[in-house]
Amino acid sequence: MVKKTFAEVICFIGLIIFISTVYGQGSKKTITLPNGEVVCDLNGEWDVVIESVHAGTTKDVFKITQQGSSFVAIRMMGNPYMPPGSEGARGELDKNGFKKVQIVSGMGLLDSKGQISDDGNKMVIDSIKRPDDVHEFTKVRQTYTRK
């Protein structure tokens, strides 16, 4: 009787571990596009840390609105250089993450590259230095954390 109960407890614990592992890995929010491609769902509010050679480090909250694979990030608080309601970033997603992404700054649109974490709750977007920028004023990093 004790051996049977012990075996049942071990099986139950194993089942709990299996279920928590499966659900923990599958918690990334996604959207399935009409063509069947699955992309990360970025919709919602994000805490953003903006690091810039030109403007220093600022914090903001961006609201991302996504239509299919395209998204726009809107500043909710703003800063001395960019007012609330202005664009902070825009881009397009594919199954691997960012297909195209641009940071919108006081210096205009900055072509960028970025990464989305495995769980979809953190993103880092780095501008690509312009060839004519000898002082690296166009070097900007935005770090997003989902609220």
Q: What is the DSSP string of 3-24?
A: HHHHHHHHHHHHHHHHHHHHHH
Distance CA 21, CA 6 (A): 23
CATH number for the segment(s) 32-146: 2.40.128.120
pLDDT score of 80: 83
Phi, psi at 91, each rounded to 5°: 175, -170
Whole-model pTM above 0.85? Answer: no
For 12-61, what is each residue's pLDDT tens digit?
Answer: 555 455 544 444 444 789 999 999 999 999 999 999 999 998 788 999 99
Residue found under tokens 């977007």:
125
Percent of the chain with pLDDT over 70: 82
> CA nearest 139: which of 60, 80, 52?
52
Q: What is the mean pLDDT of residues 90-101?
A: 97
Give me the pLDDT at residue 20, please: 47
The radius of gyration of the chain's CA atoms, rounded to the nearest angstrom, is 21
Residues β-bridged to residue 110: 103
Q: Provide the residue ranges of all domains of the chain, joining segments of one domain with +.
A: 2-28, 32-146
Amino acid at 44: G
Structure tokens at 104: 């919108």
